[in-house]
Structure 1
Amino acid sequence: MKEADRAECGGEALFEDLDFPANDRSLFSDSSTPIARLQGEISWRRPQEICQSPALLADNINLAHVKQGLLGDCWFLCACTFLLKNKRLLNKVLPPDQPQWDDSRYRGSFQFCFWQQGHWTDVTIDDRLPCINSALCFSRCHSPTAFWVALLEKAYAKLHGSYERLWAGQVSEALVDLTGGLVERWSLGESEDEPRPEQDSDQVRRRRLDLNLLDPVKDECAVSCSTHSSPGGASELGQYHALTVMEWVDMKTLSGSKVLLLRIRNPWGRCCWGGAWIGSGVGWTSVDPVSTSDLQARVAEGEVWLDENEFLSQFDDVTVGYPISDEGHLKSIYTGNLLTHNHQLAGRWIKGHSAGGSRNSSSYSSNPKFWLKVCERGELLMSLLQHRKWRNTEKYAQTPQEDSKNSTHQHYQAIALHMWKVEKRRFNLSRMLNKPPCASTHCHAYEREVVLHGQLEPGYYLLIPSTYQPGAEARFLIRAFSSSSTSLCALKSPAPSLPLTTDGEWETSYYQGSWVEGRTAGGSRNFLSHWQNPCFPFTVCDASAVTSGDNVRVTLHQSRPDTDLHPIGFHIYKCLCMQVPEEESEQTLPRDEDPVASCVPHCYTQNVSLACCLSPGAYTIVPSTYQPDCSANFTLSLARRIHRKVVKSQERLGNAIQEISHISVMQS
C-alpha cells in the first residue's frame, strides 16, 4: 500500500478489491480483442492521482456525458447516457451519498447496482482505474474531473469478469441491466424479402421504425441507433458502432413543408459526420434563422443534427428503451399507458425433459408452460429473457461456454415465445397446438430477450417459451407488464413418469387428488369401500396407435416422505358409455367387472407406473392405498400416444445479432 493512500484516509489503508485486482487478470479474458496489445502499458491510479479535485458528477450536464476510450464498449456507453436523463435510475445504479474524495469517510471504494435476471445485484469496487501515461485509457467524462462513467464501467467489467468482455455487445442488454426495464430493437432497413407461410399467423414484429409512434414518450424513452457498415455521411465510423439519439423535433421549412431533425451523440465525443445539417451545412438554409440558432445552440461536443432521410438511410437499426415512471412503472411506447401490473417467473429448458425445441419439432409440447390470467381488457407486454451461458458459476469471474452446435452466437440460444387463448383451463393440448397462436414473437432469434406486445381480452392464455433446437438448455425469465390486473403462474411440475422413448409423440395430462379418511380413502378392491376412491375418466380415441404397442402410460405419485409411505396402486376400468373428457357428466363403472389393467400389488414407494395397450373407448383410473382410511395427497399422470398432424407452420430462425463495438483513438 502506498504511503499516499494511507495519508488520504487518515492513516487507514484504502480498499483494494481482491476479487477484481488492479492487474491483467481484470483487463483480459483471452486476449482476443485489440486491447490485448496494451499488455504491459497499463498502470492503475486512483482519481486523486489523476487530477486535483475529483468528483463523481460534473455540475454541467454536457460535461458529465461519456467519452469513449480504447475499449470497444460504445453499446454500454450509449445506455449510460440515458441515466443522465433519469435521476431516479441514476440513483438506483449509483446509490447517492457515497463518500467521495473530499469526504473524511472516503475509503477508496464505491458501490453500484445492476439488474440481473430479475433482481438488483450490488457490485463493490475499489477506485483504482486503468491508465496510460497517467490518463484514463478507457471511458471517461468530458469533464476531466468527473469519474462516474469510469467507475461504472469498471463495476460492469467486474460483473462480466474483465474489461475485455465488454468489447462488442448490444445496447439493448446494457439498457436492461441499468434500468431493469424492457427494450425493443427495430430495423431501419426494408422489410424482409422472404414471405411468411400463409398458415403461420404469428404476430410479425415491426420491421421499420415509425418515429411518430414514439412521439408521446420521446422525452422519456432511451433511443440508440447503430450502424453495421460504414455510412456515407460518417466516413470515420467504420463498421459496428452505436450512437445515442438525444432528441428529435419537427420543423417547418421556409417553403412551408415539414422536416424531422434528430440530434445524435457519438460516444467518441467528437463529430464524425458530413451531412447537410452539420455546422453551416446547406440544410439550415431551408429553416428560419431563429430556429437555426436555437437548434445549433443545443449541440454539445460530439453531437450533430440529421434529418429523417439521412437517419433512415445511414443507420441499420434502432434500440428503444421503455420509459420508467418515478414510481418505477413501465410506460408503453405504443400507447403511453402506464403498465402498473407486473410479474416474473423463472424457468429452465432441460434436455430430455423440458427442452422441446420449436413448433417444427414433435417434442414441442414438452417445453415449459405458463398460465396467464387476464382479468380485464388491457395492454400487455411479455418478455422472454434467457441467461447468458457461462462455463462456471464463480461470482464476477464467469467464462463464456463454447457451444459447437451453436457457432452463430456462442452466448445465447435462438428463442421465441408463443401464446394461445384457451376457453377453459381444461383443454386438449395436442389439438390446441395444431392451431396458430394468438400472438408470438417474430421468429426464433439469437437475442438475450424477445418481447411480445398486444391488447388482450379477459380470459386464460397459455404461454410456451421455446428454443429453436430441441435439447438446447438454458435458464430463462418470463416477465409480464400490463395496464390491467393479471396473474402469471407456471404449470405445476409433473410427477416423475415413465422414461421417455422415441416411439412417437405422447400427450400427457396431470391430475391432483387426495385420499381423505372417511370420505375418499376407500382402500383396495379387497374392501367394499374401494369405490369411494377418487376416479379419473379418460378416453382413447386414436385407433391407429393401438397397432403399434403400448398407447397408455399411467404414473401414480404419493406426496409423503420416504419414511411414512402408504402402499399404493391403481386399476383401470372400462366404462359402459363413451364420454368427451372435457365434460363433467357421470360415468357408469361396471363394479362386477374386472379391471382391464392394474398396477398391483400395492407397493410402499413414491411412484408406481404401468404401460398398456387399450382399445378405443372410455375408461376410468381408480388409484388407492391398500388399507382404507389412509390419508394422503397424490398426483396422477396419464400419457396417451397420439399421431399428431404436422403443424402447418414453419418456425424460422432469425439472423444472429450484430454486436456493436469499435476502437476509438484516445484524444489527449
Structure 2
Amino acid sequence: MERGRRKAEDEDVGLFLDTDFPPDDSALLSDGSTPITKLKDCITFLRPQEICQSPELFPEDINLGHAKQGLLGDCWLLCACTILLQNKHLLNKVIPPDQPLWGDHEYKGIFRFCFWQYGQWKDVIIDDLLPCTDSKLCFSRCLSPTAFWVALLEKAYAKLHGSYERLWAGQVSEALVDLTGGLAEHWSLGSFETEGDDDKQQDTDRVRRRPGRNLVKMVKDNCILSCSTNSRPAVEEASELGQYHALNVLEWLEVSTMSGHKVHLLRIRNPWGRCCWHGSWGEGSPSWSSLDPLCSMDLQARISQGEFWLDEEEFVSMFDDVTAAYQVDENGHLKSIYSGHMLIYHQQLAGVWIKGYSAGGSRNSNSYSTNPKYWLKVRERGEVLVTLLQHKENKRMTKSVQKLVEDRGINKHQHYHAIALHIWKVEKRRFDLSRVLNKAAFASTHCHAYDREVVLNQELEPGYYLMIPSTYQPEAEARFLIRVFSSSSVSLSALKKPALSLPSTIGGEWENSFLQGAWVKGSTAGGSRNFPSHWCNPRFLFSVCDDTMHTPEVNINITLHQNPPEKDLHPIGFHVYKAQDGTSESKCPKKDELVASCIPHCYNEVVSLPCHLPAGVYTIVPSTYEPDCPATFTLCISHRVHRKVVKCQETLGRPIQEISCVSLMHN
C-alpha cells in the first residue's frame, strides 16, 4: 500500500496519521531478523472501521476480550495483558478512559497509552492504523472480532520498542512490569539444589537458584502466574506447543476425588486461543469421572476458548519456567508474594556504570569497590524488597531467526549485561570499605543474571545497609535503577564518592617493570605476617629515583597477579619494606621499616596498591594468606615519569596550504 495515498485519504476525513510511527515497513521491521520479513509485502494498514462495521474497544462479554496471538511471536506481552482485564485500575492506567471512539463525534483516529519505563509512566500516542492481511488483523487481536484494545495496545508497545519486530520473543516479567509499574520474578520449575550447593553462593552468571514447585505453591495465592516452555515438551500431549511459548495460569486449586485422594489442578490459558493439551484432564478424559459430578461439571464449565486443565505433575513436566507478578493496588502499593503484606513504602534512585570510573565488575574483579554504592537505612524491622533494573540496549541483530531461536539465551544477552546486587550490614556510617567488602555479603541475588531486573527479598533489622549493584564483566557501561519496596519505613540514598587520599594512577606517563615469581610449598610459600615463615616468601628489590617535583601524588603503582591454580584462587597480598642496606637478603625487617601494604589478603586474581614513596630502595614481599599455598605470580611495578612542560605559543590560524611540486626532467 502506498503511504502517500493513505495520508491523502486520512487528511480528507481529518484523521490522525502518526508520522513518528508511519504505516509502512519502518514500523514493521528493525533488522529483518524474524519471519515477519516475509510478510511485509502482504501487509496493509487499515483502521478498525475498515475491518468491521461496528468496532469497539472492549466487548460486552469480558471473556471475549482476552488476547489471541497472531503471526507475531509476542505471547510474552499477551500473557501480561491478562492482568489488565483482572484489574480495572491498572487497565485505566495503561489505557486512559474516555478517549473518543469510532462513531463518536470527537473521534480523530488517535489513541493514548501509558507504559511504565525505568521509574516513570510514559505516554505513547498512536493512530489506529493496524497491520492486516486480507483485510483482517494479522497480529494480535481479541477473541471478539469487533474488539480492538489488544491490537491497539500492541501497536503502542511496538512504537515504544521501535518496531513490531522488536516484540518478537521476550520475557513475560518485563511486560508485566511495563504494564503495572510493579514487580515480577522469573523462576525455574526445577527442584531445589542440594544444601551444600546452595551454601556456596557462587558469584557467577552460570549459577541460578531453582526454587521448585514448593515455592510456587507457597506464593500462588499472592501473585499472578504465567508459565513458559523453553524446550520441546517432554510429553506427547503438549507436542503442539513447540519451543518458547508463554501461557497464563488462571487457577491453581486442590480438589478431592470421590476416593478421598487430593489432586492439585491448574487452569491454563493459551494465547493462541485454542486448546493445545490432551492429557489426563483434557476434554472427555476419564479422570473427570473420579470427581464428584457437581465439582466436575463446575470445573469444566469454567473453561473458555484456549483454556484447559492439567494436574500438578503434568504442569511440572510440561513447563520449564514460571513468572510471578506482584499484585498492585489502586495506590500503587505492592503485595508481597512471600508474606502477603502490603509494601507501602517505595523509593528509587537512578545510577550508571561508567567505564574507567564506576564499572567495577563482579567481586572477582579487583575494581569491584569502584561500583556505585547506596545506603539503605531501615528504621524498624520489616520485609524489604530491593531490585536492580538495567536499561535495555537495542543492539542490531545479525543472526538468522533460526539461529536466534536455537540460541535464545545469547539473544537475550545482546540486550543485557549479567547483573547482581549485594548487601552488607554495617554498624555505622563511618566504616572501612575494604574490610566490609572482604566479608561475606549479608544478602545477595546469589549470581549475576542476564535479566533486565533482579530481585532480593529479605527481612531486615533496623540499621544501615551498604548496597552495591554490579555487572559481571568490568568496564560494562549501562544505566540502572535501584528500587526499594518495604513494609516499614526506610530511606535510600547514594553514597557520595569519598575524596581519595591518593590520586588515581590513571593518566600521565608510566614505565612498567615485570617480575616473575612462585610460591613453592615447603620452600617459598611462607604465608602472611601472621606466620613465622613469612620472610621465606620471594623478595624483590626496586628503587625510586629522586623526584625533583616534590609533589605528594602517586608515583608508584604495584600490581600482584596470581596465575590461577588448579583449584580455587588463593587470598593474596603484599608488603613493601624500606631496604636499609640496599639488598633483599637482610633479616626480617623491623616494624618501622614497613612503608606500605596491600591487605587484607583477597581471593582475587589481581590486587594492586597505588602509593607515594620517597627516593630510596625498597623490598616487596608478596604472599598468600596461609603458608604452603603453591602458585606462580607476576609483579608489575609502575613508575610515574615526570616530563618538563614545554611552553608553546602555537595558535590556530589559517589552514596550512598544500603546495605541489612537480619536477621536470629536461632532455
TM-score between the two structures when normalised by the length of structure 2: 0.73
Residues of 2 paired with 1:152 and 1:446: CA distance? 27
Asked whether the equivalents of residues 205 and 441 of structure 1 are also in contact (C-alpha less than 8 Å), the reply is: no
Structure 1 residue aligned with 2:178: 177
Which of 444, 449, 456 aligns to 1:452? It is 456
Structure 1 residue aligned with 2:308: 304
State the number of aligned residues. Answer: 525
Deviations 1:129-173 (A, max 9, x none): 000000000000000110000000000100111101110110011
Asked whether the equivalents of residues 17 and 125 of structure 1 are also in contact (C-alpha less than 8 Å), the reply is: yes
Aligned pairs for 1:248-263 within 5 A:
248-263=252-267
Secondary structure of the residue aligned to 1:39 is helix
Structure 2 residue aligned with 1:411: 415
Structure 2 residue aligned with 1:336: 340
Residues of 1 paired with 2:323 and 2:549: CA distance? 58
Distance 1:133 1:366, change over 3 A: same
Tell me by how many angstroms 1:599 deviates.
10
Asked whether the equivalents of residues 365 and 604 of structure 2 are also in contact (C-alpha less than 8 Å), the reply is: no
Structure 2 residue aligned with 1:51: 52
Residues of 2 paired with 1:286 and 1:256: CA distance? 10
Which of 466, 478, 489 aligns to 2:493? It is 489
- The answer to whether structure 1 residue 212 and structure 2 residue 212 are counterparts is no
Asked whether the equivalents of residues 202 and 446 of structure 2 are also in contact (C-alpha less than 8 Å), the reply is: no
Deviations 1:408-446 (A, max 9, x none): 711100010000001111111111111111110031111
Structure 1 residue aligned with 2:119: 118
Deviations 1:454-498 (A, max 9, x none): 100010000011111111111111100000000000111455843
Tell me by how many angstroms 1:642 deviates.
2.3
Structure 2 residue aligned with 1:498: 504
Residues of 1 paired with 2:541 and 2:433: CA distance? 22
Aligned pairs for 1:100-179 within 5 A:
100-179=101-180
What amino acid maps onto 2:468 in structure 1?
Answer: I
Gaps of 5+ in 1: 393-405, 505-540, 552-596, 602-607, 618-639, 650-668
Aligned pairs for 1:187-226 within 5 A:
187-191=188-192, 196=197, 200=201, 205=209, 207-210=211-214, 211-217=216-222, 221-226=223-228
Asked whether the equivalents of residues 356 and 364 of structure 1 are also in contact (C-alpha less than 8 Å), the reply is: yes
Asked whether the equivalents of residues 201 and 447 of structure 2 are also in contact (C-alpha less than 8 Å), the reply is: no
Asked whether the equivalents of residues 5 and 14 of structure 1 are also in contact (C-alpha less than 8 Å), the reply is: no
Residues of 1 paired with 2:395 and 2:498: CA distance? 29
Tell me by how many angstroms 1:647 deviates.
3.3
Residues of 1 paired with 2:543 and 2:81: CA distance? 60
Structure 1 residue aligned with 2:373: 369
- The answer to whether structure 1 residue 643 and structure 2 residue 599 are counterparts is yes
Structure 2 residue aligned with 1:657: none
Distance 1:259 1:598, change over 3 A: farther
What amino acid maps onto 2:390 in structure 1?
Answer: Q
- The answer to whether structure 1 residue 474 and structure 2 residue 478 are counterparts is yes
What amino acid maps onto 1:443 in structure 2?
Answer: C
What amino acid maps onto 2:377 in structure 1?
Answer: K
Asked whether the equivalents of residues 209 and 318 of structure 1 are also in contact (C-alpha less than 8 Å), the reply is: no
Tell me by how many angstroms 1:230 deviates.
2.6
Residues of 1 paired with 2:217 and 2:395: CA distance? 44
Distance 1:345 1:289, change over 3 A: same
- The answer to whether structure 1 residue 290 and structure 2 residue 291 are counterparts is no
Larger-Rg structure: 2
Secondary structure of the residue aligned to 1:322 is strand
Residues of 2 paired with 1:2 and 1:160: CA distance? 25
Structure 2 residue aligned with 1:227: 229
Distance 1:94 1:549, change over 3 A: farther
Residues of 2 paired with 1:49 and 1:113: CA distance? 26
Tell me by how many angstroms 1:550 deviates.
11
Asked whether the equivalents of residues 190 and 210 of structure 2 are also in contact (C-alpha less than 8 Å), the reply is: no
Structure 2 residue aligned with 1:88: 89
Identity score, percent: 60
Secondary structure of the residue aligned to 2:86 is coil
Structure 2 residue aligned with 1:351: 355
What amino acid maps onto 2:120 in structure 1?
Answer: H
Structure 2 residue aligned with 1:573: none
- The answer to whether structure 1 residue 314 and structure 2 residue 310 are counterparts is no
Deviations 1:506-526 (A, max 9, x none): xxxxxxxxxxxxxxxxxxxxx
Structure 2 residue aligned with 1:14: 15
Residues of 2 paired with 1:216 and 1:130: CA distance? 38
Asked whether the equivalents of residues 6 and 13 of structure 1 are also in contact (C-alpha less than 8 Å), the reply is: no
Structure 1 residue aligned with 2:248: 244
Asked whether the equivalents of residues 202 and 447 of structure 2 are also in contact (C-alpha less than 8 Å), the reply is: no
Residues of 2 paired with 1:311 and 1:92: CA distance? 33
Structure 2 residue aligned with 1:398: none
Distance 1:136 1:499, change over 3 A: same
Residues of 1 paired with 2:9 and 2:197: CA distance? 69
Residues of 2 paired with 1:550 and 1:342: CA distance? 56
What amino acid maps onto 1:213 in structure 2?
Answer: M
Would you tell me which structure has more helix in proportion to its own residues? 2
Secondary structure of the residue aligned to 1:476 is strand
Structure 1 residue aligned with 2:385: 381
Gaps of 5+ in 2: 397-409, 514-529, 558-574, 579-595, 606-667
Secondary structure of the residue aligned to 2:351 is strand
What amino acid maps onto 1:163 in structure 2?
Answer: Y
What amino acid maps onto 1:226 in structure 2?
Answer: S
Asked whether the equivalents of residues 6 and 14 of structure 1 are also in contact (C-alpha less than 8 Å), the reply is: no
Residues of 2 paired with 1:3 and 1:28: CA distance? 21
Tell me by how many angstroms 1:68 deviates.
0.3
Tell me by how many angstroms 1:216 deviates.
3.9
What amino acid maps onto 1:500 in structure 2?
Answer: I
Distance 1:391 1:250, change over 3 A: closer
Residues of 2 paired with 1:127 and 1:50: CA distance? 11
Residues of 2 paired with 1:359 and 1:449: CA distance? 19
- The answer to whether structure 1 residue 79 and structure 2 residue 80 are counterparts is yes
Secondary structure of the residue aligned to 2:251 is strand
Asked whether the equivalents of residues 227 and 316 of structure 1 are also in contact (C-alpha less than 8 Å), the reply is: yes
Structure 2 residue aligned with 1:512: none
Structure 2 residue aligned with 1:25: 26
Tell me by how many angstroms 1:189 deviates.
1.9
Asked whether the equivalents of residues 344 and 478 of structure 1 are also in contact (C-alpha less than 8 Å), the reply is: yes
Secondary structure of the residue aligned to 2:297 is helix
Asked whether the equivalents of residues 176 and 184 of structure 2 are also in contact (C-alpha less than 8 Å), the reply is: yes
Deviations 1:334-368 (A, max 9, x none): 00000011111111111111111111111111111
Secondary structure of the residue aligned to 1:472 is coil
TM-score between the two structures when normalised by the length of structure 1: 0.73
- The answer to whether structure 1 residue 36 and structure 2 residue 37 are counterparts is yes
What amino acid maps onto 2:165 in structure 1?
Answer: E
What amino acid maps onto 1:642 in structure 2?
Answer: C
Distance 1:440 1:146, change over 3 A: same
Distance 1:101 1:452, change over 3 A: same
What amino acid maps onto 2:185 in structure 1?
Answer: E
Distance 1:550 1:355, change over 3 A: farther
Structure having greater relative contact order (Cα 8 Å, sep ≥ 6): 1
Secondary structure of the residue aligned to 2:392 is coil
Distance 1:357 1:648, change over 3 A: closer
Residues of 2 paired with 1:32 and 1:4: CA distance? 27
What amino acid maps onto 1:258 in structure 2?
Answer: K
Asked whether the equivalents of residues 423 and 442 of structure 2 are also in contact (C-alpha less than 8 Å), the reply is: yes
Asked whether the equivalents of residues 255 and 262 of structure 2 are also in contact (C-alpha less than 8 Å), the reply is: yes
What amino acid maps onto 1:323 in structure 2?
Answer: Q
Secondary structure of the residue aligned to 2:347 is strand
What amino acid maps onto 1:223 in structure 2?
Answer: L
What amino acid maps onto 1:224 in structure 2?
Answer: S
Residues of 1 paired with 2:137 and 2:246: CA distance? 21
